[in-house]
Structure 1
Amino acid sequence: MSRTSLRPLPMTSRCRTTSTGRALPTAYYREGNTVKRRTGVAVASVAALALVLAGCAKGSTPGTSGSTGGKSGFNAATEGVVNPSDKKGGTLKFASSSDIDSWDPARAYYAWAWNMQRFYIRTLVAPQAKPGKEGLKLVNDLAQSQDISSDGLTYTYKLKSGLKYEDGSTIKSEDIKYGIERVFAQDVLSGGPTYLSDQLDQGQNYPGPYKDTDPKKLGLKSVETPDDNTIIFHLKSAFADFPYLLAMGGAAPVPAAKDKGDKYADHPISSGPYMFKSIEPGKKVVLVRNSNWDQSTDPIRKALPDEIDLTLGMDPNEIDSELLDGTLDIDTGQTGVQAAAQAKILTNPDYKKNADEPTTGFIRYIAISTKVPPFDNIHCRLAVQYATDKVSLQTVRGGPDAGGAIGTSMLPPNINGYDQNLAPFTGKTGQPDLAKAKDELTNCGKPNGFTTVIAARNKGKEPKVAFRSTIGSPDNVHKKGYGLMNAGWGADFPTGYGFLDVLVDGDKILPSGNNNYEELNDPAIQSLIKQATAATDPDKAAKLWGQINAKVMDTASLLPYVYDK
């Protein structure tokens, strides 16, 4: 039996998680899947949520321990490395029920795509290969050294010597710059994160390399490459999380001569230990060793198997069956086993000792619009907060064991700045306070309750398209009167900024593709965000994000209910 992870219910959405417990926006909604409930009091409306809120796929994550021992048993892999080995050879067999979004590192945003990138790309820095919170720390990958100016505006990296692509050519600093420039070409290479272009454009309106008038297509002014082994980044303002952006796939080196634009995903050029032997979209992908990768330059990857085979489009139950009989090693989707397999695992001691039930870093929450009446009145939002039965919502997701712990604030436990004592409204138990809910209904002028519209993801073949056309558009939210919006979230990188900023920053409210669903734009929060973003001391930044988290809860515009497993 291969080691497996559990989950409460079978899921259908194409949600995204990452290799370090981070994850991406997961609330995809389908037009028409809204529920109206006329209520005598808000209590009935929120209780109905337990019946209509659909689940979303979860991702596996390291635990909180830094142990690397070989301890086995249930949940052992949440605490350390199980059955560690240095033996080389063989084939690692992966499977996925769906295709990847893109093999182009600039376009990929599925978490399992980011995990797969570790095989074929390298970046200046990368998360170290250790379990638990140690795996959230960045270490040098392509970089030999990093130097940050005292004002936090200039980052200088020196490359290691002996770095090669799969064809034997040398990896140069200008290749890293060119790879980053590709992120700017959203007209050609859309789909991936745009943090790098957000930080480095600085008013230049750089169009990306395909429209670059520079002869070498290296016209981005904020990035210098004075020699083949040096790259310098100039920031407009201090941003302590900048190295995390350089660990993303969009910062991987791409030699300009090998770039094929939107066809680059057909065969990305490897800078890592494996390279593509074949890619059959929707069917199968095979990676083999890159003979020009030098283990002595790479402290992160052991690269033990000779080959990696990925089968795409497998039935989820078939994946579970092959995991249980040992003919398959890993389900790349990281969503855990289906209900039938879960029952087998929990009732069979031999299976259970090889299973884990990790906390993911995901949070399930309800965004309460600050613009749609009656929720433009904070007291109506408070009524919902006090009335919510989080235990019922937790039960829908599988209960405390399979579903997750009660969510008490918008920062999950794996993010620095989380405060276990911050548990407003329903406390740590998640039990509603109906008396206070009724008081707040009176305070908001709705003593007999009100009607609202709940937006919740249902099964859909085009969840991403549906998402963009519904709660991701503030105009549409206003037009449809979406008062309560069920959502899930996890960080692109494991800091307060990486998790919370896009959800609560008033400057990030967008006309489409918006993630600040509640349209929160609070002056006190905005001031704290500016301080936290500029803080170069991680401990100070974490403290500020903790304050932001508390302020956000004070607005009653976001209602966390489960920290996912």
Structure 2
Amino acid sequence: MIAIAAGSLALTGCSKNEGGKSGKDSKKDQKEAAVQSKAVTYVDAAGSTGPAKDVPGAKPGGTITVYQEAGLSHLDPSQIYVSDAGQVANLLFRRLTQFQEDDKGNVSVVGDLATDSGKSSDGGKTWTFTLKDGIKDENGNPITSADVRHTVERQYAKFIFDGPTYLQTWLSGAEYRKALPGGGFDGKHLPASVLDTPDDKTVVFHFDQARPDLPQTLAMAGYAVVPAKGDTKERYEKKPVSTGPYKIAENKAGKTLKLVKNTNWDPKTDSVRHQYVDGFTIQFGVTESTQTKRLIADEGDNKNAIQLTNGVEATQIQDVINNPEASKRTVKGYQPYVMTLTFNLDRVKDKKVREAVTYAVNSKSLIAGEGGAYGGDVAPNYFAPTLPGYEPSYDPYGRLKTPQGNIAKAKEILKGVPAAEKKIVFAYANSEAGQKRKVAIEDALTKVGFDVVAKEVDAASYYEQIGKLKNPYDAYITGWGQDWPSPGTVVTPIYDGSQVFDGSANYSHVKDPKVDALIKKALTQNPTEAAKTWKEAHHYLLENVIPAAPLWYTKQFQISGSNVGGARYGSVSSLIDITRLYLKS
């Protein structure tokens, strides 16, 4: 899944989607989280036809205020792979397919721009999509297969560096940019044997092996359609063209983002989204603590406000829990993210150092900063409770028994390690949550003899900065969750050696032949066989490579104003489901 926004408290869904029941009981929460590991179903044309099912009691009109501490990572959909921009993308951008969620948290894939979730042939190597009639962008231009081709091909351009790479890699291999270095802008295109658009309505993908997960891949925000008309390349971030129910009216970077109704969006073509409110005004720079205070008080415009990816600030959680009126306005649930202290293996080359840090880190202290049991649970490994293959008792570093860290063991491992290798340059986001995490990491590592040099990084561009191969940091906290229910969407993007490049999610720069071989093997196996291979890869990574120290599994706990209706926890976004909100009066 998309990386969790830096400094967010947040995570993914509950068994019944009525706001979620995630709380203090970790075992119960993890059992409910397992619902997210269920296979996603693919829906036909009948289930892909709009309009979306009405939200009971919904009324039109008004503007919802949205609070967010850090600015958005990106607005160009091809660059979106982080939860903050992903949440906004649900209002602005449509894709060939889209995830649909029912009231019980069950998720399916429906046709979004396409008439259905896709038709496969040739043993799953070929996928054909037919575009719906009557779909236009915000400027009234019809969306055609040429726009889909343009969207796919621009992903090959060098200026697209932060989004998902599944599709490009499947079509053209790990070095996909070499297949189309101009990204289609120079008049050169992918051949019909790879991507075929025989007419305005038809899009055909050809792969060298079966790709059964393609409908889920294309539902990602990073594959939302970018109309060829209006694509300004690097400048597209400032004013992207909408295909969803809302469009951008004003964008003051890092300050405000105003969305208004897109009058060219046709609800009859959309089975997922609604357009109840007149617009959304996103205010950036509002800290989690300020957001929480305003929403607890529930006065004036705050009655019409929500949190985007931030959550209830940790020290105010009890204020919300013990206030029945405020508590009923919350949504909560288990997210798919595993937070880790990730090592830059180009700099932290001594395995003993990585092992010592993994024993030393204090999960208990970090989770306290997230809100205690309402903010997360101790993570003994890299697989979240939402992922197929999750092993709750797999705990090679004794994290469950010593969540506060094993200081003695860490000191023992560090004996004989040169002083120069005990210096750790730690990057942290300049947000309230980032500050708390910095203190916890510094405290834990200093106790065992490390010299921690903390470096502040802008929260809005945090993942972009640590995603640079030549970044000047030894370690940084990252969060990753499944893109769909498969270990392949966790192990592959963050530990595949072919994914080591600027903007990649392989933040540790792992290049291990055994890991690469296991990934390649698993991707060709049926799910039952693959499960064993993913398990082997997981254990080998954690015990032999140690690219990161597992810290905690995340939960989300958000509050909204009393006049906001339709609020529920979204299993897909791992946040409040922003597509169905309305104002009660």
TM > 0.5 between the two? yes
The whole-number CA distance in structure 2 between the counterparts of 1:391 and 1:166 is 48
The whole-number CA distance in structure 2 between the counterparts of 1:105 and 1:166 is 15
The whole-number CA distance in structure 2 between the counterparts of 1:100 and 1:527 is 36
The whole-number CA distance in structure 2 between the counterparts of 1:425 and 1:517 is 22
Q: Does 1:342 align with 2:317?
A: yes
Question: Cα offset for 1:124?
Answer: 0.8
**2:3 aligns to what?**
24
**1:121 aligns to what?**
93
Question: Cα offset for 1:60?
Answer: 3.3
**2:448 aligns to what?**
none
Question: Cα offset for 1:192?
Answer: 3.6
Q: 180, 198, 212: which is aligned to 1:226?
A: 198
Question: Cα offset for 1:125?
Answer: 0.9
Q: Is the 8 A contact 2:17 2:105 kept in 1?
A: no
Q: 309, 323, 348: which is aligned to 2:281?
A: 309
**2:441 aligns to what?**
none
- Pairs within 5 Å for 1:122-271: 122-130=94-102, 134-135=106-107, 137-145=108-116, 146-187=118-159, 189-202=160-173, 204-209=178-183, 211-214=185-188, 222-271=194-243
Aligned partner of 1:534: which letter?
A: T
Question: Cα offset for 1:556?
Answer: 5.6
Q: Could you list the per-position Cα deviations for residues 6-56 of structure 1 after superposition, in whole angstroms to 9, with x for gaps in the alignment?
A: xxxxxxxxxxxxxxxx44176xxxxxxxxxxxxxxxxxxxxxxxxxxxxx5
Q: Does 1:506 align with 2:502?
A: no
The whole-number CA distance in structure 1 between the counterparts of 2:197 and 2:334 is 41
Aligned partner of 2:483: which letter?
A: F
1:184 counterpart SS class = coil
Q: Is the 8 A contact 1:144 1:160 kept in 2?
A: yes
- Pairs within 5 Å for 1:357-506: 357-367=332-342, 375-376=350-351, 385=358, 390-395=363-368, 397-399=370-372, 401-426=373-398, 428-430=400-402, 437=409, 441=413, 446=416, 452-458=422-428, 459=430, 460=456, 462=458, 473=469, 482=474, 485-491=475-481, 493-494=483-484, 495-506=486-497
Aligned partner of 1:528: which letter?
A: L
The whole-number CA distance in structure 2 between the counterparts of 1:393 and 1:156 is 47
Question: Cα offset for 1:178?
Answer: 0.9
The 3 A distance-change label for structure 1 pair 357 and 556 is farther
**1:526 aligns to what?**
516
Q: Is the 8 A contact 1:58 1:362 kept in 2?
A: no
- Pairs within 5 Å for 1:38-77: 57-58=7-8, 60-65=10-15, 67-68=16-17
Question: Cα offset for 1:61?
Answer: 3.4
TM-score (norm 2): 0.71
Aligned partner of 1:414: which letter?
A: T
- Which range is displaced more, 427-436 or 141-150? 427-436
The whole-number CA distance in structure 2 between the counterparts of 1:138 and 1:97 is 31
Q: Is the 8 A contact 1:58 1:360 kept in 2?
A: no
Question: Cα offset for 1:156?
Answer: 1.3
Q: Is the 8 A contact 1:383 1:436 kept in 2?
A: no
Q: Could you list the per-position Cα deviations for residues 504-524 of structure 1 after superposition, in whole angstroms to 9, with x for gaps in the alignment?
A: 2233334x5565455544444
The 3 A distance-change label for structure 1 pair 518 and 283 is closer
The 3 A distance-change label for structure 1 pair 424 and 165 is same
Q: Is the 8 A contact 2:128 2:204 kept in 1?
A: yes
The whole-number CA distance in structure 2 between the counterparts of 1:306 and 1:389 is 46
Q: Is the 8 A contact 1:474 1:517 kept in 2?
A: no
Q: Does 1:550 align with 2:536?
A: no
- Pairs within 5 Å for 1:82-97: 85-97=57-69
Question: Cα offset for 1:237?
Answer: 4.2
The 3 A distance-change label for structure 1 pair 404 and 553 is same
The 3 A distance-change label for structure 1 pair 101 and 563 is closer
Q: Is the 8 A contact 2:22 2:332 kept in 1?
A: no
Q: 548, 551, 556: which is aligned to 1:561?
A: 551
The whole-number CA distance in structure 2 between the counterparts of 1:100 and 1:468 is 11
The whole-number CA distance in structure 1 between the counterparts of 2:161 and 2:378 is 36
Question: Cα offset for 1:180?
Answer: 2.0
Q: Is the 8 A contact 1:388 1:432 kept in 2?
A: yes
The whole-number CA distance in structure 1 between the counterparts of 2:200 and 2:347 is 54
1:117 counterpart SS class = helix
RMSD of Structure 2 on Structure 1 (CA): 4.1
- Which range is displaced more, 537-546 or 403-412? 537-546
Question: Cα offset for 1:127?
Answer: 1.5
Question: Cα offset for 1:173?
Answer: 1.3
Question: Cα offset for 1:160?
Answer: 2.0
The 3 A distance-change label for structure 1 pair 267 and 239 is same
1:361 counterpart SS class = strand
**1:287 aligns to what?**
259
The 3 A distance-change label for structure 1 pair 263 and 131 is farther
Question: Cα offset for 1:489?
Answer: 1.8
Q: Is the 8 A contact 1:425 1:433 kept in 2?
A: no
Q: How many residue pairs align between the two structures? A: 495
**Same amino acid, percent of matched pairs:** 26
The whole-number CA distance in structure 2 between the counterparts of 1:206 and 1:194 is 14
1:344 counterpart SS class = helix
Q: Is the 8 A contact 2:295 2:305 kept in 1?
A: yes
